[in-house]
Amino acid sequence: MGEKKYRGKQIFEWVNKGAKRWEDMTNIGKVLKEKLQKNTFITHVKIEKKMVSKIDGTTKYLFLLEDKNIIEGVVMKYKHGFTACISSQVGCVMGCSFCASTIGGLIRDLRAGEMIDQILQMQQDLGERISNIVLMGSGEPLHNYREVMKFLEIVNSESGLNIGNRHITLSTCGLVPEIKKLADLQIPINLAVSLHAPNDETRQIMMPIAKKYSIKALMEACEYYLQKNNRRITFEYALVKEVNDEEVHAKQLGQLLKGMLCYVNLIPVNTVAEARYEKSREEQVKRFQKVLKSQGVEATIRREMGADIDAACGQLRNNYINKKIKEKQ
């Protein structure tokens, strides 16, 4: 538009503060405001529905996008501050069999701005600063690589949300080439890998991506990531009754991860109406953790947050879509 460079910085800062209209940008002159009004627009994700857990204050949001698609996000309150779990795509193509986000397939990628805006809307609504981000909502972040990288840059920028890379976690179902690509960038974010099984056979039952990339290839990519970043990797392991939660699985997992700079996050799988799986019993989860520890692999059991508000991945969005379909019929 032929404007001075610092104008871009001013606008960037306003948008990151959540400004919704050009008129609100007090340090931008009238002529430029009119030019911007004519040639550009500011979009926002809108809070369509909000649910607050009575148990632990976890807040779940359904956001309405400009094209009427729906995504979801969650804010969890911890001792160290507020953590936002956001979506990176509308739906997901990866087909993990325990996940409600993938039931309707992938609709589209989210733009970096739509990811940032989920955080801005949460902050504005709660009147609190979000200090940690997890890319663990619907979508596979590395399948929307370009926009997610742009998002990471903005979120970390001092004039953006100014959230340190060490407070950001990217969770992937294991896209091997993209993990290597991300490793090469050497951004000190936390990497979480959804492993969910210690061998290819079981993993292929749970996650179609395992047919494309073997555990061996995935582990090589993780080693490469560690070489480049030297940051501990988290392996997510959703425990499903009689599928991947037996002692033999724990032993195999221990063997696989022994000596690696990592820890395992054990997740008693969320109950989703459409899913075919049952949650592992509590004793079984504890036993699994004990076997891993006895092999020198650190493992924690994830605390269930917002159990009373459909906080499981994709569950709220899915229930909302089903309700809308029924209303139309």
Choose the binding region for ligand SF4 from 18-26, 37-45, 94-102, 156-164 (rule: CB under 6 A): 94-102
Residue 174 as a binder of ligand SF4 (CB under 6 A): the answer is no
Q: Which is nearer to ligand SF4, 89 or 252 (CB)?
A: 89
Measured between alpha carbons, how far is 277 from 16 in angstroms, rounded to an integer?
A: 41
Smallest separation (angstroms) from ligand SF4 to the CB of 71: 11
Q: Residue 196 and residue 208: Cα distance in Å, rounded? A: 12
Query: What are 283's two structure tokens?
Result: 């004793």
Q: Cβ(314)–Cβ(101) under 8 Å?
A: yes
Name the minimum Å distance from CB 13 to ligand SF4.
32
Q: How far is the CB of 95 from ligand SF4 (least distance, A)?
A: 6
Instruction: Tell me which of 72, 114, 147, 236 is the catalytic residue.
Output: 72
How far is 132 from 194, CA to CA, in rounded Å?
19
String of contacts with ligand SF4 for each residue 134-153, x by CB under 6 A = ----xxx-------------
Enter the DSSP assignment of 233.
Answer: E
Residues forming beta bridges with residue 46, ordered by sequence position: 64
106 is an interface residue for ligand SF4 by CB under 6 A: no
Q: Select from 95-103, 112-120, 253-261, 279-287 the region that touches ligand SF4 (CB under 6 A).
A: 95-103
Task: Examine the residue annotation and report whether 313 is marked as an active-site residue of this protein.
Answer: yes
Of 132, 125, 117, 49, the C-alpha closest to 87 is 117
Three-state secondary structure call for residue 12: helix
- Residue tagged active-site, from 85, 173, 222, 313: 313
Which residues, at least 6 apart from 45, have a Cβ–Cβ distance to it below 8 Å?
63, 64, 65, 71, 114, 117, 118, 121
Q: Contact between 96 and ligand SF4 (CB under 6 A)?
A: yes
Instruction: Examine residue 99 and tell whether it contacts ligand SF4 (CB under 6 A).
Output: yes
CB of 277 to ligand SF4, least distance (A): 13
Tell me 152's DSSP state. H
Q: Which residues bind ligand SF4 (CB under 6 A)?
A: 92, 94-96, 99, 101-102, 138-140, 173, 194, 313
Residues with catalytic annotation? 72, 313
